[in-house]
A = this chain, B = another copy of it.
């Protein structure tokens, strides 16, 4: 069952269309978990600092899969567990995500992020992206996804 909001397309504008997929309070935090934090399981997402509720997490994971940003594998250690991971479409949000972090670092005083990582993102975003993509590749090889 898919909620109403997951259907509507408000216009043909590229920004509006993208916001229909990722423009809400939670979706990009799920992407962040998969992209930067190495969190690939439902139970671990439930523990995220921002305290997502179980129902919202379930909805967002389903929507991300329906929209082709995320896919899932059975966990090798247990059939009842799943491993979520970003598809190429989802991984390609890394450029957007990196700009988001750069903007945050520039304008939002309170963000907690180690100084050295902050400096890397700020002064060599391409390198940061390269490193992150390599980590995602390594994860995929380990689990033979893609």
Contacts and interface: CB of A to CB of B under 8 A. Distances in A.
B49 A97 contact: no
Contacts of A28: 15, 19, 23
Interface residues of A, number: 42
Copies of the polypeptide in the assembly: 2
Interface of A: 9-21, 23-25, 28-29, 32, 49-51, 89, 92-93, 95-97, 99-108, 110-113
Nearest to A101: B14
B113 A14 contact: yes
A62 to B, nearest CB: 18
A120 to B, nearest CB: 13
A52 to B, nearest CB: 9
Interface centre among A14, A21, A102 (most CB of B within 10 A): A14
A114 to B, nearest CB: 12
Given A24-B23, A89-B107, A92-B107, A16 B50 contact: yes
